[in-house]
Amino acid sequence: MKGLSCNSALFAHIDVVECMGILADHGFQAIDVSLELEPPFLPVPKPHMYVDADAAERVRVAQGARAAGLDFGTCNAHTNLIDGDPEARSRNLDFVLGGMRLAADLGCKYVITGGGMKNMYGREGTYWQRLLDAMAVILPAGEELGVTLLLECASLPGCLVHDLRGMRRLFAEDGMDSLQVLFDPAHYLVRGDDVTAAYRELAPRVRHIHAKDALGRVEDFEFPPLGEGEIDFRSLIQAVRDTNFAGYIALEYEGFAWGHTPDPLRILREGRDFLLAHLEATAA
């Protein structure tokens, strides 16, 4: 394992380079840069970078990471690649492609997105074909840029790829060899999967992990601070070690959407300590 990263959205109220300094000062080794425009919660955090950022901004951010001694874990480019509106779908595809180009300029190896949301009337097969059409454009572009797309399953009702079964279905399709996995345990728990078993099955493709806890199931769930949910992180971290995971584990926090603490420094410190304790406990 490379070390710990953090989704920069936790510090959306400050500049991304300032955020890098805070992460470095708290013992993190990388940053996940938030590009996301419309996450499914309030308050909506401002993205730390835009995919159309000019050359000067790209250089500033890349230099900021080097000065802080941080690697780039991922660029987070969640959007709806299967939107029922063709114009929106086209814009969203361009957004992910822009994120891939931005990542390449920053020296970031990975971009994260999801399978999209079924937001209008339509057959399941139609939505799946839209996702496959998007992958047929994004994956070759990533190969040319040297950037790998990581797919994150998403548990919110209406999400197309929302559990282990959906991930299996996608990876069984032709042309998915270069597609890899962002493993967020919270989404698998909410959809009723055995989290550790899901990780072990997907491990050959897992390149990045989100550390996020969860309570409940799909129609009644929340993402509380680490250690306050139902995920067995001792079992999961042991599996991460057993499979010789070679990427970053990234702290991601959305608990404020359910009324949990909005204090980013508290979440950063407590999340770091939680993860380090579990890593130490499974080190033997």
Write the DSSP string, 9-71.
Answer: GGGTTS-HHHHHHHHHHTT--EEEEE--S--SSSSPPPPSS-TT--HHHHHHHHHHHHHHT-E
The CA-based angle 45-274-219, given to 5 degrees, is 55
Specify the pLDDT at position 42. Answer: 79
Lowest mean pLDDT among 36-45, 75-84, 130-139, 221-230: 36-45
Largest CA distance in the chain: 53
User: Encoding tokens for residue 19?
Assistant: 């955020």
Q: Quote the number of domains for the chain.
A: 1
Q: How far apart are CA 211 and CA 109, in angstroms?
A: 19
What pTM did the predictor assign? 0.97
Query: How sure is the predictor about 97, in pLDDT bands with cuts at 50, 70 and 90?
Result: very high
Query: How sure is the predictor about 239, in pLDDT bands with cuts at 50, 70 and 90?
Result: very high
Task: Characterize the bridge pairing of strands 71-76 and 110-114.
Answer: parallel
Query: How sure is the predictor about 268, in pLDDT bands with cuts at 50, 70 and 90?
Result: very high
Which stretches of 222-263 are DSSP H helices? 233-242
Q: How far apart are CA 95 and CA 37, in angstroms?
A: 10
Query: How sure is the predictor about 282, in pLDDT bands with cuts at 50, 70 and 90?
Result: very high
Concatenate the DSSP letters of all residues of 122-176 into one string. Answer: --HHHHHHHHHHHHHHHHHHHHHHT-EEEEE---STTBSS-SHHHHHHHHTSTT-
Q: How far apart are CA 95 and CA 80, in angstroms?
A: 10
Q: How far apart are CA 275 and CA 42, in angstroms?
A: 26
Specify the pLDDT at position 43. Answer: 82
Instruction: Give me the amino acid identity at 208.
Output: H
Query: Which CATH number covers residue 81?
Result: 3.20.20.150
Query: How sure is the predictor about 38, in pLDDT bands with cuts at 50, 70 and 90?
Result: confident
Sign for the CA dihedral angle at 232, 233, 235, 240 comes to: positive
Q: Which domain holds residue 137?
A: 3-281
CB 75 within 8 A of CB 102: yes
Residue with tokens 């509380």: 224
Specify the pLDDT at position 41. Answer: 83
Q: Residue 44 above 90 pLDDT?
A: no
